[in-house]
């Protein structure tokens, strides 16, 4: 837990503020000031260019390239990889006066200030430029991406001369020429450059995937003097000459539209062509001020339904609002059937791939804040079911084996020990369907899209596992569980438990469907070829699943033989050895009982009410001292369980950097992009941890506690189409339903019916930090 804050940004409840630009934090700030709307994301690089360290990154959900690798001699190995591609820079700008190019790496400037307003998603940067010829100018750059019309981004540049009159050149355009940082290569072929009065467009294509982006923009403001200019073969640009007068503001506005083509059918391409043809007309109907007001209204609704207020802790107040803001920027259901990359759309680390974290960490946030977005996330797994079935066949299994890392549904992880041994991606999809079904009660989605996944994952589990030599127990051999420091183990507790859960849940849904609609049941049985023998085999495997558990100690053994591994005192490891992947040989990591991230304890969070408090306490106290939290997801899980166990100081210690993992650069890698799933875990840390919410029971339950460091806090969740407000102070907790229904809840084991009238409860003494 030796994590130290590297605090740079000014603390403010509603804004992320940078003053007096420090070049050593340039790329960290680019990640923090990223804007996105799920469809596209833009890092917080300087519009006008910067010759210092910078990642000019623009990314689009589902736009990727594919690289083939030398085929392995072994079956089941991944021979190609896919990665999110750095795309069109729609903010491209260059500003010049008296042949001096504005570049904050070389130019003289003062009064630098950059602010990201979390209330409305506006990024604003201002400074004063003193040129070598003695001219002084005040510049303001604004930008935002539209949350309602996700193709649209807007930029406004305001320039006010202080001590001169004269002309200034602004080159503005659309640029596909940026290299992808990881490969130091550009993957775009460009065509169809169109330049008209106050309008530009260009189309980029990725050869390996045949995907396209049509980028166009329209200009407003002081644009009377304009001409087309060539900046490179993969760009379209115009130069504007603005006449400046002292203390008079000159303005250039650019509204850009980016339309992606990711399909393969003639119908998809016809729609893409139609959208491109209408681009200029559609852009002409937009104006900057209206778009800005619409964005403010969109974010107002978000904060009314999803805000978290923390009293007496300015750091975490800013931190949790930043987390909520980034979650809605990353995903809000704008594009059906897409997923969430580990860095969202803020950087190239992890290649834009989605992992099993999506269903386990991100899905709970969306289920209680935007359930339609949660549904769209799960729909991605249905759309990519064919790829999961192909992957299962590659691994000598039947059914569907979901990838551990993916953009398109194909396995992108080239490390065989992860790609072939980790079953938790598949079982996490099942968990996500179960979670959504319980909270949404959307039986049409369950039967039409969820059930085919459940059946195919069950088939995979039935062929991936094996019986013990005496045929009395079933389980999984040669696997890697959530703790990635234990490889090729047998009977991993998490894996076996989730396998049993999957079998039982699939059988339960089949029974539900039979009772609900027998005709549809027989149709699915026939279409998928499900036999009575097959379902009986699943039931037997579930009934006889080996769960390594010691009745006397109440401990669940992480995997068969874990208790006999050599013990490592993690506190004796020198701090300079971290991260271990960089300082220990790969095999050394696997030769002891050290844990990277929670495995057994992850189960106890996901299915919390199925374990006794004694079991949770015994396992927490055994496994926590062995965990080094090498994953940024780990501390929040421990904090939630510690809070449940009334270990309040420990819970807060684990929580102390959850909301500010990226803001304060705790892992010293914020420059690579934001930790999206850790951001979701920070929300869980407050709602499931201090708020004591449990959603694996009906009705959902709460047992709030309050950290001693706080004066109070409140949070909102959307449950059964009603917004529930939970307001906690030092002595009491109050529940309010801002909706119109009467909702059953459980508070400190007492069932209540919550309507318009607020209900107050005293916080038990042992739940006050």
Residues annotated catalytic, as ranges: 484
The CA-based angle 460-465-470, given to 5 degrees, is 150
The CA distance from 546 to 491, in Å, is: 7
The CA distance from 643 to 622, in Å, is: 16
Query: Quick one: which of 727, 711, 738 has its CA closest to 761?
Result: 727
Question: Which secondary-structure segment (H or E) carries 325?
Answer: helix 314-330
Torsion angle in degrees (nearest 10) through CA of 681, 337, 260, 254: -40
Q: What is the CA radius of gyration of the chain?
A: 27
The CA distance from 458 to 335, in Å, is: 29
Per DSSP, the three-state class of 685 is: helix
Query: Quick one: which of 635, 623, 648 has its CA closest to 677?
Result: 635
The CA distance from 625 to 598, in Å, is: 11
Burial letters for 749-768: b for 16+ Cβ neighbours within 10 Å, e otherwise?
eeebebeeeebebebeeebe
Query: Quick one: which of 452, 430, 450, 431 has its CA closest to 442?
Result: 450
**Cβ–Cβ contacts within 10 Å for residue 39, how many?**
24
The CA distance from 459 to 347, in Å, is: 36
Question: Which secondary-structure segment (H or E) carries 16?
Answer: strand 15-19
Q: How many residues does the chain have?
A: 769
- In 146-262, DSSP assigns E strands to 152-161, 166-175, 189-196, 199-206, 211-221, 226-229, 235-244, 250-261
Per DSSP, the three-state class of 656 is: coil
Residues 497 and 603: beta-carbon distance below 8 Å = yes
Residues 674 and 36: beta-carbon distance below 8 Å = no
Burial letters for 228-254: b for 16+ Cβ neighbours within 10 Å, e otherwise?
ebeeeebbbbbbbebebeeeeebbbbb
Residues 64 and 82: beta-carbon distance below 8 Å = yes
Residues 682 and 323: beta-carbon distance below 8 Å = yes
Task: Report helix angle 451-464 to 532-543, nearest 10.
Answer: 60
The CA distance from 483 to 360, in Å, is: 15
The CA-based angle 396-398-401, given to 5 degrees, is 85
Which residues have C-beta within 8 Å of that of residue 571, sequence separation ≥ 6? none
The CA distance from 686 to 421, in Å, is: 33
Q: Are strands 743-747 and 701-702 parallel, antiparallel or unpaired?
A: parallel
Residues 492 and 559: beta-carbon distance below 8 Å = yes
The CA-based angle 118-123-127, given to 5 degrees, is 130
Query: Quick one: which of 364, 368, 366, 328 has its CA closest to 718?
Result: 368
Query: Quick one: which of 398, 508, 532, 504 has its CA closest to 459?
Result: 398
Task: Give the tokens for residue 722.
Answer: 């009603």
């Amino acid at each position: 837990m030796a994590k130290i804050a590297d605090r740079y940004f000014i603390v403010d409840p509603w804004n992320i503020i940078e003053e007096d630009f420090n070049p050593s934090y340039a790329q960290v700030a680019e990640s923090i000031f990223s804007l996105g709307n799920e469809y596209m994301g833009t890092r917080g690089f300087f519009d006008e260019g910067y010759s210092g360290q910078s990642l000019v990154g623009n990314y689009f959900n589902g736009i990727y390239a594919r690289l083939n690798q030398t085929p392995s001699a072994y079956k089941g190995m991944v021979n190609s990889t896919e990665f999110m591609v750095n795309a069109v820079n729609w903010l491209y700008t260059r500003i010049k006066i008296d042949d001096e190019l504005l570049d904050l790496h070389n130019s003289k400037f003062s009064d630098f200030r950059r602010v990201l307003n979390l209330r409305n998603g506006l990024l604003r940067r201002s400074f004063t430029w003193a040129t070598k010829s003695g001219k002084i100018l005040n510049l303001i750059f604004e930008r935002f991406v539209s949350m309602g019309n996700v193709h649209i981004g807007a930029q406004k540049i305001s320039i006010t001369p202080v001590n001169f009159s004269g002309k200034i050149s602004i080159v503005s355009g659309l640029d596909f020429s940026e290299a992808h940082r990881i490969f130091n290569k550009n993957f775009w072929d460009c065509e169809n450059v169109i330049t008209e009065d106050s309008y530009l467009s260009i189309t980029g294509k990725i050869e390996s995937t045949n995907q396209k982006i049509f980028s166009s923009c329209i200009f407003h403001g002081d644009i009377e003097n304009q001409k087309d200019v060539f900046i490179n073969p993969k760009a379209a640009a115009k130069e504007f000459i603005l006449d400046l007068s002292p203390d008079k503001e000159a303005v250039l506005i650019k509204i850009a539209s980016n339309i992606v083509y990711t399909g393969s059918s003639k119908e998809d391409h016809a729609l893409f062509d139609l959208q491109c043809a209408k681009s200029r007309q559609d852009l002409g109907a937009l104006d900057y001020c209206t778009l800005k007001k619409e964005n403010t209204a969109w974010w107002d609704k978000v904060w009314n339904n999803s805000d978290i207020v923390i009293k007496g802790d300015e750091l975490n107040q800013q931190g949790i609002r930043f987390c909520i803001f980034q979650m809605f920027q990353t995903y809000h259901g704008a594009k059906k059937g897409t997923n969430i990359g580990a860095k969202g759309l803020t950087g190239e680390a992890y290649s834009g791939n989605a992992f099993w974290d999506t269903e386990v960490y991100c899905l709970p946030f969306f289920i209680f804040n935007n359930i339609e977005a949660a549904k769209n996330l799960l729909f991605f797994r249905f759309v990519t079911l064919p790829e999961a079935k192909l992957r299962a066949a590659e691994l000598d299994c039947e059914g569907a084996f979901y990838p551990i890392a993916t953009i398109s549904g194909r396995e992108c992880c080239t490390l065989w020990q992860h790609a072939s041994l980790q079953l938790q991606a598949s079982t996490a999809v099942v968990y996500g369907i179960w979670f959504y079904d319980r909270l949404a009660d959307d039986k049409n989605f369950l039967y039409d899209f969820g059930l085919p996944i459940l059946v195919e994952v069950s088939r995979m589990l039935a062929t991936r596992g094996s019986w013990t030599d005496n045929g009395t127990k079933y389980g999984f051999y040669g696997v890697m569980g959530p703790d990635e420091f234990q490889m090729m183990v047998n009977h991993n507790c998490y894996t076996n438990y989730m396998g049993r859960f999957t079998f039982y849940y699939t059988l339960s849904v089949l029974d539900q469907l039979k009772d609900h609609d027998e005709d549809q049941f027989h149709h699915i049985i026939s279409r998928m070829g499900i036999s009575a023998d097959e379902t009986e085999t699943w039931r037997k495997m579930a009934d006889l699943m080996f769960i390594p558990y010691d009745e006397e100690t109440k401990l669940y053994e992480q995997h068969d033989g874990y208790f006999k591994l050599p013990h490592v005192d993690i506190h004796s490891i020198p701090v300079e050895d971290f991260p271990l992947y960089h300082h220990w040989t790969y095999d050394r990591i696997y030769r002891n009982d050290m844990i990277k991230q929670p495995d057994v304890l992850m189960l106890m969070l996901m299915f919390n009410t199925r374990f006794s408090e004694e079991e949770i306490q015994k396992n927490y106290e055994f496994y926590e001292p062995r965990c080094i939290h090498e994953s940024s997801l780990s501390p929040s899980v421990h904090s939630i369980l510690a809070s449940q166990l009334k270990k309040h100081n420990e819970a807060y210690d684990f929580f102390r950097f959850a909301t500010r993992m990226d803001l304060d650069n705790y892992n010293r890698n914020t420059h690579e992009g934001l930790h999206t799933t850790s951001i979701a875990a920070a929300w869980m840390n407050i709602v499931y941890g201090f708020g004591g919410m449990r959603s694996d029971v009906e009705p959902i339950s709460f047992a709030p506690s309050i950290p001693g460091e706080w004066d109070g806090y409140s949070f909102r969740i959307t449950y059964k189409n009603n917004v529930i407000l939970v307001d906690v102070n030092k002595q009491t907790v109050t529940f309010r339903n801002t909706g119109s229904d009467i909702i059953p809840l459980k508070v400190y084991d007492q069932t209540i019916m919550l309507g318009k009238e607020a209900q107050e409860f005293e916080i038990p003494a042992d739940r006050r930090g």
